[in-house]
Chains A and B, each alone.
Chain A
Amino acid sequence: MSYLDARDMTGGYGKADILNSCTLTVDKGEIAVIVGPNGAGKSTAMKAVFGMLNLREGRVTLDGVDITALSPQDRVKKGMGFVPQVNNVFPTMSVEENLEMGAFIRDDDFKVAMEQVFTLFPILKDKRRQNAGELSGGQRQQVAVGRALMTQPKLLMLDEPTAGVSPIVMDELFDRIIEVARTGISILMVEQNARQALEIADKGYVLVQGENKYTDTGKALMADPEVRRTFLGG
């Protein structure tokens, strides 16, 4: 069984289901990317994995442990980290304090984790005393990812981390995400920039109307003419 195994997830916010028997799995140190058209339920699938959505059917296991009934906070304690798409920093708090709040549930010393984040994102070390709300969009995303890494999660989930940043910043963010994955952390992310994301993905999921349409390695999906034509614009 994969490290994260979210199987046959079915559910939604109201009466109508948004997810229809959707399955997502991620192995250790693997980057999995969810792509698909608007309204395909990408972010919803992510929220379901993180416990922000009540599932009607299906179950989620992490490292073989069933976590379907756990709250998001408890899932954080089990080793999940989540970076929301928007409002993902504390704007009037310094970078350092943002990271500290990321480690709030940890009772031990978080200095090591903070140093690791600073090694990964050196710019944050320079700006550690500055308020997160005053940083540029790309730097803010780095703070958001750094905050989630402070719990030293085994699985990091990112909801469209490159939304609204320039192409250069996007490339840099993807490089950092690869680095994170190399340290053995599994990555599950939703991306609008499907091409670039699939290039770095070990595994790609194409969701359509809350269902798994195509599932393969990133390279294979990029090579699939059907996927290219329908979802990657030729």
Chain B
Amino acid sequence: MDFLNALVAITNYVIIPATAYGAQLALGALGVTLVYSILRFSNFAHGDTMAFGTGVVILITWGFQAMGISFGPLPTALLALPFGIVITSALMLGTDKVVYQYYRKVKAAPVVMVMVSVGVMFIMNALTRFLIGVDQINFADGARFVINARQWREMTGMSEPLTLRSTQVITVVTAILVVWALFWFLGRTRTGKSMRAFSDNEDLALLSGIDPNRVVAVTWIITGALATIAGTLYGLDKSFKAFTYFQLLLPIFASAIVGGIGNPVGAIAGGFVISFSEVGLTYAWKKVVTYLIPNWEPDGLVQLLSTDYKYAVSFTILILVLIFKPTGLFKGKIV
């Protein structure tokens, strides 16, 4: 029984939250990795793009709520999501036209492109703050739980509670759908295949008559969509705060690099590696330890690392990968 209780505690405090967080990171890392493989630079503006997209979704959500439109037990934000995607993707296309296109034409070095993305980051940062401010915003509505602690107890009769929040289920389901759609697009459609060809071998792609402008445009549209979805899911699951999204840049980059930058499968795997390490290392294992080792009451929380240092986990994993396997777990691009 104690063993089962320990299992429930681990599921409740580690597996469920880390799965949801991992799905959010994976979607973020997919956006970074896509820009990297097609446009060949690390996009420092991605965190703020996520913030912008989420800001738009929140505004539209409020609009729907004011009009009395709701999505039943699901959060209204899901209804607003498509609109947020359209607006964010349009902004991405505009940014490319005004900013990035020129640097592609002059064949700027990747590190210059990174600097340019810092400029874009400033602007996205300001736009987001103009739009929605800097405060913490909770915008999840609808049913809060799929399973709450009381239902769990009645269902199983176990003393250890387990809760499953609806935002967690929504995150995972949405992420699965999005990833499925993305892989279907990249693997089955002509445009998707042409994007992979462009990423693999740009010269040969041009020689085969693939239109680079079209590939780049589609890439930005998908990046805008991924950023908006990732940001909205993160905001629903936790809460929205513009600065937090900037800080997400580190675990997102870490996910992309750990998986092998430029490799979509790697980005997803990397997201879960980072999330499980982060949650696992910052969780206070006291409860689980007490269940598993009878007659022993640990003095402390049995927490390996304070949650204040969660970014140190991403960083350490990043460093380990850079030392031992710079191409990442799944072979990514090196140059």
CB atoms of A and B under 8 A apart anywhere in the complex?
A: yes
A residues whose Cβ falls under 8 Å from a Cβ of B: 72-73, 76-77, 82, 84, 87-93, 97, 100-102, 104-105, 147
Residue of A nearest to B209 (CB): A105
Q: State whether A90 touches B197 (Cβ < 8 A).
A: yes
Of the candidates B196, B203, B206, which one forms a contact with A93 in the assembled complex, judged by CB atoms under 8 Å apart?
A: B196
* Residue B193 at the chain A interface, CB threshold 8 Å: yes
A-B residue pair count with CB separations less than 8 angstroms: 54
Q: State whether B196 touches A147 (Cβ < 8 A).
A: no
Of the candidates A76, A92, A93, which one forms a contact with B209 in the assembled complex, judged by CB atoms under 8 Å apart?
A: A76
- Residue-wise, chain B 233-255 has the 8 Å CB interface mask toward A (1 for contact) of 00000000000000000000000
Q: Which residues of A contact B208 (CB under 8 A)?
A: 76, 101-102, 104-105, 147
- Residue-wise, chain B 179-197 has the 8 Å CB interface mask toward A (1 for contact) of 0000000000010011011
Of the candidates B200, B203, B205, which one forms a contact with A84 in the assembled complex, judged by CB atoms under 8 Å apart?
A: B203
Q: State whether A104 touches B194 (Cβ < 8 A).
A: yes
Q: State whether B204 touches A84 (Cβ < 8 A).
A: yes
Q: Which residues of B contact A82 (CB under 8 A)?
A: 207
Q: State whether B200 touches A73 (Cβ < 8 A).
A: no
Residue of B nearest to A87 (CB): B201
Q: Which residues of A contact B206 (CB under 8 A)?
A: 72-73
Q: How far is the CB of A89 from chain B (nearest CB, A)?
A: 7
| 19 CB < 8 A contacts A-B | A72-B206, A73-B207, A73-B209, A76-B207, A82-B207, A84-B207, A87-B204, A88-B204, A89-B201, A90-B196, A90-B205, A91-B201, A92-B200, A93-B196, A100-B193, A101-B194, A101-B197, A101-B208, A104-B210
- Contact A87 to B203, CB < 8 A, known contacts A92-B196, A93-B197: yes
Which among B193, B209, B210 has the greatest number of chain A C-beta atoms within 10 A?
B209
Q: How far is the CB of A146 from chain B (nearest CB, A)?
A: 12
Q: Which residues of A contact B207 (CB under 8 A)?
A: 72-73, 76, 82, 84
Q: How far is the CB of B254 from chain A (nearest CB, A)?
A: 23
Q: State whether A93 touches B194 (Cβ < 8 A).
A: no
B residues whose Cβ falls under 8 Å from a Cβ of A: 190, 193-194, 196-197, 200-201, 203-210
Residue of A nearest to B194 (CB): A104
Q: How far is the CA of A161 from the CA of B46 in the complex (A)?
A: 43
Which among B190, B194, B203, B207 has the greatest number of chain A C-beta atoms within 10 A?
B207
The 9 closest A-B CB pairs, nearest first, are: A105-B209, A90-B200, A101-B197, A104-B208, A90-B197, A73-B209, A104-B209, A101-B208, A90-B201
Q: How far is the CB of B204 from chain A (nearest CB, A)?
A: 6
Q: Which residues of A contact B204 (CB under 8 A)?
A: 84, 87-90
Which among B193, B203, B206, B210 has the greatest number of chain A C-beta atoms within 10 A?
B193
5 new A-B contacts, CB < 8 A, other than A82-B207, A87-B203, A104-B194, are A73-B209, A87-B204, A90-B204, A93-B200, A100-B190
Q: How far is the CA of A82 from the CA of B208 in the complex (A)?
A: 9
Q: How far is the CB of A18 from chain B (nearest CB, A)?
A: 20
Q: Which residues of B contact A87 (CB under 8 A)?
A: 201, 203-204
Q: How far is the CB of B325 from chain A (nearest CB, A)?
A: 18
Which among B190, B196, B197 has the greatest number of chain A C-beta atoms within 10 A?
B197
Q: How far is the CA of A105 from the CA of B207 in the complex (A)?
A: 10
Residue of A nearest to B263 (CB): A92
Q: State whether A101 touches B210 (Cβ < 8 A).
A: yes
Residue of A nearest to B262 (CB): A92
Q: How far is the CA of A97 from the CA of B208 in the complex (A)?
A: 12
Q: How far is the CB of B297 from chain A (nearest CB, A)?
A: 54
Q: How far is the CB of B211 from chain A (nearest CB, A)?
A: 9
Residue of B nearest to A133 (CB): B200
Q: Which residues of A contact B194 (CB under 8 A)?
A: 101, 104
Which among B190, B193, B197, B204 has the greatest number of chain A C-beta atoms within 10 A?
B204
Q: How far is the CA of A92 from the CA of B210 in the complex (A)?
A: 17
Q: How far is the CB of A86 from chain B (nearest CB, A)?
A: 10
Residue of B nearest to A50 (CB): B207
Q: How far is the CB of B334 from chain A (nearest CB, A)?
A: 13
Q: How far is the CA of A102 from the CA of B190 in the complex (A)?
A: 12
Q: Which residues of B contact A77 (CB under 8 A)?
A: 209
- Contact A97 to B201, CB < 8 A, known contacts A84-B207, A102-B208: no
Q: How far is the CA of A105 from the CA of B190 in the complex (A)?
A: 11
Residue of B nearest to A76 (CB): B209
Of the candidates A72, A91, A104, which one forms a contact with B200 in the assembled complex, judged by CB atoms under 8 Å apart?
A: A91
Q: How far is the CA of A77 from the CA of B208 in the complex (A)?
A: 10
